[in-house]
Amino acid sequence: MTPMDAMARIGEARIREAEARGEFDDLPDKGSPLQLEDLSRVPEELRAGYILLKSQGFAPEELQLRKERLRLVDLLAACRDGTANERLRADLRRVQLRLELLGGRRADAPALAEYRDQLAERLGNGS
């Protein structure tokens, strides 16, 4: 028997003993179906860390940026002040640019194209 087999047997025995003592009877959400998350897009070696961070309230950068984008779109829809509107649009472009960089869609990314054009204008190479 390998050390891992021995550890697995000990662990299973302790779980059975705890179950027999009723230690699992008052767990929150007992009897509710599990909410399984699709982690197929998360590399296998990062899944444990992802689950740990998420359980502690930390979200991946892309998720935070998507929430920020939705918030900015809502604010823009309600904004009537021209200066604030421009500031919100700049923030939205920044968030969109970061999302596109994270997504790896460099060639056809609208925010990247707009940024490239603005940079070319500032450098005197405008089209």
**Would the pTM of this model clear 0.75, i.e. be above it?**
no
Burial status of residue 65 (CB atoms within 10 A of its CB: 0-12, 13-18, 19 or more): buried
Q: What are phi and psi of 40, to 5 degrees?
A: -65, -25
- pLDDT of 110 reads 63
CA distances from 80 to 17, 67, 83, 88, 113 (A): 65, 22, 9, 11, 28
Q: What is the distance between the alpha carbons of residues 4 and 30, in angstroms, rounded to a whole number? A: 30
- pLDDT of 112 reads 61
Task: Tell me which amino acid residue 38 is.
Answer: D
- pLDDT tens, position by position, for the chain (127 residues)? 788 788 889 999 999 999 999 998 888 888 888 777 788 877 888 888 888 888 888 877 777 888 899 999 999 999 888 899 899 999 999 998 888 887 765 445 566 666 677 777 878 765 4
- pLDDT of 47 reads 83
Task: Tell me which residue of 125, 69, 105 sits closest to 116, measured CA to CA.
Answer: 125
Task: Tell me which amino acid residue 83 is.
Answer: T
Q: What is the distance between the alpha carbons of residues 67 and 116, in angstroms, rounded to a whole number? A: 25
Q: Give how far the C-alpha of residue 106 lies from the chain's centroid of Cα atoms, to the nearest Å.
A: 20
